[in-house]
C-alpha cells in the first residue's frame, strides 16, 4: 500500500532534520552557479596554480575555517572555484536575529591577502541592519567598506576570513543594531534612544521572519537540507517568540535570553503597527513551517481560534450597531432626508410636466 502524503512529509522531515544535524560546519561543494560572484569574478592563475602564494594562503584559510568555526557558522567552499565560498550565520540568542539564518557570498581578490575579500549579503530585498543593505553591500571596517581605527581595518599580515565571519556575527548581528547607525552609538543607555532601539528591533524581527519565508521558498544551493532541518527544529521556538512579542510578554530579542530574576517586567505596551505586522507574518510562518514538516498543530489551532474570535467580534460589532439607539436614530434621520428630497423632486416634476426625460404622468 502506498504511503499517504502526510507520511511522506513526515519521513522527509525526519531525513531533513537528520541531515541538518550531520551538516558539517565546513565542507567542499561543486555547484557555485548561484553564487553572487560566479560571473563577475573570474578565476585567475593565482587561484588555479597550486604553487602561487595566493593559492597557498587560501588553503591556509580553509584549514583555519575547518578547525575553528563556531557551532553557529557554516561554510561551503568550491572544488573548482577556490576564490569563492558561501557562509551561513545563525542569529544569536538575546538579539532580534535569534534563530534566523543569514547568508553571505564571499570572493577572494587575485592579490589576496593584500586586499580584503568581497562580501555580498543575500538580503532578499530586506534592510534589517544599518550595516547590511538591500543591494547586498556589507559595511564593515575589517572589509575596508567603512571607516574605523587602523586596528579595525584589514591587515594583510594578520586578518583572516574567519575574523570577518565572527565580526559579522558579533558586531553586525548584535543585540541593539540600531546603535550601529553612524552617530547613534554614543546614545546607548539613554531612555529616548533605547526606546528607538526597541522599536527598531521590532522592525528587524519582522524582517527576519520575512527572510525566513524567502529562505524556505528558495534556499541557497548546497544549503537546502540545512535550511529545511534548521527551521524544522526551531519552528516552535520561533512561533512561541512571535506570540510572546506580539502579546507584550517580553521585548523582541529576549525570548531565548537567560532569565534575569532581578529585572521582572510587567506586560509591555505593543504598538498596533507591530502587532498587526506580527499577526500577518506569524500566520505565514505557521503555514510555511507546517509545509516544511514541523509539528506546529497547536499553533494551527491557535490561528483558527483567533480567526473565529475576530469573526465573532466583527459580527457582534455589526449587531451592536444595528441595535444601538444612536445608530438607529441616524438611519431614521437619513430615511427622513431621503423622503424629503424625493418629495421635492416630485413637486418639481408636477410644476414642469414638459421637462425632457421626466414623466408627466
- Give Cβ neighbours of residue 44 (< 8 Å, ≥ 6 apart): 83, 110
Q: Do 225 and 16 touch, CB atoms closer than 8 A?
A: yes
Residues involved in catalysis = 139
Composition of the chain by helix, strand, coil, percent to 5: 55, 10, 40
Q: Which residue has the cell 532569565?
A: 259
Collapsing DSSP to helix, strand or coil, 298 comes out as helix
Q: Do 104 and 89 touch, CB atoms closer than 8 A?
A: yes
Grid coordinates standing for 133? 543593505
49-70 core/surface letters (b: 16 or more CB in 10 A; e: else): eeeeebbebbeebbeebeeebe
**DSSP-assigned letters across all residues of 83-114:** TEEEEEEEPPTTSTTTT-EEEEEEE--TTTTS
- Characterize the bridge pairing of strands 118-121 and 73-78: unpaired
Q: Is cis: bond before 113, omega within 30 of 0?
A: yes
Residue 113 backbone dihedrals phi, psi, to 5 degrees? -100, 20
State the distance between the two ends of the chain, measured CA to CA, in whole angstroms: 79
Q: Do 286 and 303 touch, CB atoms closer than 8 A?
A: yes
Amino acid at each position: 500500500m502506498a504511503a499517504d502524503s502526510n507520511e511522506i512529509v513526515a519521513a522527509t522531515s525526519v531525513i531533513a532534520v537528520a541531515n541538518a544535524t550531520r551538516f558539517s560546519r565546513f565542507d567542499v561543494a561543486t555547484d557555485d552557479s548561484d553564487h553572487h560572484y560566479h560571473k563577475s569574478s573570474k578565476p585567475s592563475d593565482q587561484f588555479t596554480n597550486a604553487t602561487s602564494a595566493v593559492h597557498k594562503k587560501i588553503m591556509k584559510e580553509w584549514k583555519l575555517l575547518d578547525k575553528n568555526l563556531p557551532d553557529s557558522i557554516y561554510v561551503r567552499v568550491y572544488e573548482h572555484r577556490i576564490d569563492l565560498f558561501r557562509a551561513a550565520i545563525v542569529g544569536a540568542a538575546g538579539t532580534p536575529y535569534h534563530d534566523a539564518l543569514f547568508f553571505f557570498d564571499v570572493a577572494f581578490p587575485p592579490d589576496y591577502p593584500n586586499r580584503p575579500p568581497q562580501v555580498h549579503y543575500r538580503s532578499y530585498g530586506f534592510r534589517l541592519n544599518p550595516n547590511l543593505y538591500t543591494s547586498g553591500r556589507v559595511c564593515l571596517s575589517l572589509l575596508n567598506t567603512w571607516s574605523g581605527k587602523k586596528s579595525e581595518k584589514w591587515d594583510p599580515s594578520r586578518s583572516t576570513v574567519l575574523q570577518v565571519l565572527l565580526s559579522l556575527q558579533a558586531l553586525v548581528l548584535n543585540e541593539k543594531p540600531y546603535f550601529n547607525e553612524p552617530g547613534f552609538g554614543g546614545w546607548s543607555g539613554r531612555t529616548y534612544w533605547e526606546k528607538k532601539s526597541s522599536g527598531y528591533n521590532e522592525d528587524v524581527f519582522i524582517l527576519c521572519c520575512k527572510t525566513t519565508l524567502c529562505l524556505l521558498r528558495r534556499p541557497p544551493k548546497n544549503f537546502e537540507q540545512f535550511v529545511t532541518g534548521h527551521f524544522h527544529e526551531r519552528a516552535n521556538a520561533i512561533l512561541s517568540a512571535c506570540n510572546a512579542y506580539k502579546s507584550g510578554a517580553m521585548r523582541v530579542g529576549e525570548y531565548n535570553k537567560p532569565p534575569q530574576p532581578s529585572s521582572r517586567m510587567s506586560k509591555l505596551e505593543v504598538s498596533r503597527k507591530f502587532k498587526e505586522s506580527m499577526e500577518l507574518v506569524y500566520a505565514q510562518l505557521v503555514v510555511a513551517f507546517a509545509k516544511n514538516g514541523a509539528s506546529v498543530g497547536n499553533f494551527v489551532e491557535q490561528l483558527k481560534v483567533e480567526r473565529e474570535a475576530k469573526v465573532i467580534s466583527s459580527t457582534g460589532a455589526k449587531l451592536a450597531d444595528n441595535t444601538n439607539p444612536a445608530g438607529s436614530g441616524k438611519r431614521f434621520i437619513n430615511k427622513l432626508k431621503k423622503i424629503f428630497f424625493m418629495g421635492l423632486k416630485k413637486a418639481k416634476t408636477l410644476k414642469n410636466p414638459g421637462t425632457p426625460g421626466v414623466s408627466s404622468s
